[in-house]
Amino acid sequence: MGARRAVCIGIDDYPGEGMDLAGCANDARAWARLLVGGFGFRRRDIRLILDREASRDEILAALDGLVAGARPGDVCAFVFSGHGTWVPDAGVPDESDGRDEALVPREAGFDRLILDDDLRRRLDRLPDGVSFTFISDSCYSGTVTRIAPAGRTGAAIRFLPPPPGIRARVAERSPLKRRILARREEEMTELLLAAAAADEPAAEDDFGGTRRGVFSHFAARALEDAGPGVTYAEWMARVADRVAAAGYAQRPQLEGPAAAKRRPLFSPC
């Protein structure tokens, strides 16, 4: 039987006025509990990285360690809850919208972002036979590994706006570029569960007195009525229905090979 290991990251404490969030650390802890309580992970095999610990270098080192230690038959999970953003696509054009989606580490500087290209290079090192689930509860997170709702006054958007100069450079680029380096879903080495599509914001809100990411909250709730053996595709369909029914304007995404989508949650390949 293979090993089960995970990294869960939550960042609420960002530098700068008005940048803090309030539900990301709660998300990271909740995902860790879910993996232990429902899917056979041991707490000692889950690394929790919160707030000031969650620098770019620390996040990438944790991902490197998870990938480097993976062996055929293992089950791995990597969870990020925090701000997302985008920057102009650099180097060889591989994004049809002229943007690289990015995760925002604790430093929150645009020279310290974790780009989709950074993630892709690492995930391409996964050996065959590893079940790897990448969960991103951040804005503009759909395709992040693939190169605020109306009437909800308490909701906050998990998005770090690019400076005007960066937005202008993206606007000047053609949106019709070929995706040269991007991976088709069947070529992906992982399954991506994303809070929103690549062109959408993602929200956090109060649920029963606890601040949570909308996606993370409804993902956990959807498991309560799913029953054992639910597949990724079935689970994410339930999550999307719950998010829409609650009135949030974000569409959770599931991306990866079709066969992997049909596997039970956090099961070996």
Q: What pLDDT, in 10s, does the model give residues 150-180?
A: 445 456 665 555 555 444 433 333 332 223 3
Confidence at residue 269, expressed as pLDDT on a 0 to 100 scale? 92
Among this protein's residues, is 24 annotated catalytic?
no
* Residues paired with residue 50 on neighbouring β-strands, in sequence order: 10
User: Is the confidence at residue 47, as pLDDT, over 90?
Assistant: yes
Among this protein's residues, is 76 annotated catalytic?
no
Pairs from 112-117 (Cβ < 8 Å, separation ≥ 24): 112/55, 112/56, 113/56, 113/85, 113/87, 114/56, 114/59, 114/60, 115/87, 116/143, 116/144, 116/145, 116/146, 116/147, 117/90, 117/91, 117/147, 117/181
Q: Which of 76, 83, 217, 269 is catalytic?
A: 83
In the sheet that 156-157 helps form, which strands lie side by side, from edge to edge?
A: 156-157, 203-207, 210-213
The model's pTM: 0.86
Domains of the chain: 4-261 (3.40.50.1460)
Q: Which of 8, 24, 76, 139 is catalytic?
A: 139
Q: What pLDDT, in 10s, does the model give residues 217-265?
A: 999 999 887 878 999 999 999 999 999 999 998 999 999 999 999 999 9
